[in-house]
């Protein structure tokens, strides 16, 4: 198999914890078998949607709902489904809008799915840098939004129980331990942040999946994957879990030394799609980055969803109207030679 080049080796406690940690109620449904984008023959094109949002006061429920409809996901596809939203929560900084998926985007996504008849929406994450997940949740500002809307939260770092064989085999890891809750929902949505990355080049909907891997097994900051190959691990986790949808918060992204230390970059977009390789390809181009020069994105577009090589049907805004170059740093190896 093609092996992507890995650039490098390796306050207070919140009062809402009891609610946010509340157990799920209802019959276990099991993950839907409806995801097919990795298995297509390459004779079709995937579709993505780009929506504009100048700031976080936008109506994200309406925007995301419109994107779902444009991409063929209406009430018929969502009614009575249990939906898990997996945001990117990295560090507990509510004022640094470029670090975490913004609470208003998470709230808007939850409302959009509920309006289309979802039986339940929950939010789950397992941060890679901080062991106290609920501290990150509180300090990011997301805890308050979830409590107000009575949306339960699950800490993925402290769970396991669902083992799947490695369906990608870009690394030598034979099987992956996932939190059992991922096997108790119908739809898994990667709700990522648009950022550069000092090891992977960019971090978008596929890299965001590192947060579903339990820290109790894979360490902090998910050290096992750095040791076996960061970019190869991104491919293996995506191929094995097979998420159903991606939403990327690019209203305020991060450029430069991401995913934590870089400055804010206003891109003013939300990017969505059923194919994670297609969504990440479009996001890279919006950032002024050549996705074919990001090893794991290039492999994903050829192996995880070979339809991408035939082009991408673009809904909503065009890439040309929203493209803005994210800063790349010449001393970071993963940033070298990737500019469009």
**235-275 pLDDT, tens digit each:** 999 999 999 999 999 999 999 999 999 999 999 999 999 99
What phi and psi values does residue 195 have, to the nearest 5 degrees? -145, 150
- For residue 161, give the H/E element and its range: strand 161-165
How many other C-beta atoms can be found within 10 angstroms of the C-beta atom of residue 75? 13
Neighbouring C-alpha atoms within 13 Å toward the C-beta of 128: 20
Give the pLDDT score at 182: 97
Q: Give tens-digit pLDDT for 18-76.
A: 434 443 333 233 333 334 454 444 468 999 999 999 999 999 999 999 999 999 999 99
Dihedral sign, Cα of residue 31, residue 33, residue 39, residue 40: negative
Give the pLDDT score at 314: 97
Give the pLDDT score at 257: 97
Residue segments in the chain with a per-residue pLDDT below the cut of 50:
1-2, 5-36, 38-42
Give the pLDDT score at 221: 87
Give the pLDDT score at 261: 93
pTM: 0.89
CB 277 within 8 A of CB 42: no
Beta-bridge partner residues of 334 = none
Domains of the chain in sequence order = 50-335 (3.40.50.11440)
- For residue 267, give the H/E element and its range: strand 264-273
């Amino acid at each position: 198999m093609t092996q992507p080049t890995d650039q490098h080796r390796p306050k207070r406690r919140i009062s809402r914890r009891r609610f946010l940690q509340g157990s799920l109620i209802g019959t276990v449904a099991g993950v839907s078998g409806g995801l097919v984008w990795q298995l297509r023959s390459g004779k079709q094109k995937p579709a993505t949607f780009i929506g504009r949002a100048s700031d976080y006061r936008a109506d994200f429920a309406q925007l995301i709902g419109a994107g779902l409809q444009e991409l063929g996901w209406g009430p018929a596809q969502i009614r009575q489904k249990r939906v898990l939203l997996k945001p990117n929560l990295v560090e507990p900084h509510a004022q640094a809008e470029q670090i975490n998926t913004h609470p208003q985007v998470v709230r808007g996504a939850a409302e959009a799915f509920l309006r289309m008849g979802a039986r339940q929406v929950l939010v789950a994450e397992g941060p890679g840098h901080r062991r106290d997940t609920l501290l990150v949740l509180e300090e990011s500002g997301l805890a308050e939004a979830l409590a107000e809307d009575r949306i339960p939260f699950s800490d993925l770092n402290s769970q396991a129980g669902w083992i799947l064989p490695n369906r990608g085999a870009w690394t030598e890891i034979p099987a992956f331990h996932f939190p059992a809750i991922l096997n108790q929902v119908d739809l898994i949505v990667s709700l990522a942040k648009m950022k550069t990355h000092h090891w992977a080049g960019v971090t978008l909907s596929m890299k965001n999946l590192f947060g579903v891997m339990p820290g109790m097994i894979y360490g902090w900051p998910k050290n096992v994957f750095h040791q076996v190959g960061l970019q190869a691990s991104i491919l293996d986790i995506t191929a094995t879990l097979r998420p159903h949808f991606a939403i990327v918060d690019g209203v305020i992204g991060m450029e430069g030394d991401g995913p934590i230390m870089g400055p804010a970059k206003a891109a003013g977009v939300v990017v969505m799609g059923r194919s994670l390789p297609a969504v990440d390809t479009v996001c890279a181009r919006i950032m002024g980055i050549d996705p074919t020069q990001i090893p794991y994105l290039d492999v994903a577009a050829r192996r995880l969803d070979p339809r991408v090589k035939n082009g991408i049907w673009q809904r909503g805004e065009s890439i040309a109207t929203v493209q803005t170059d994210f800063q790349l740093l010449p001393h970071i190896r993963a940033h070298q030679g990737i500019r469009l």
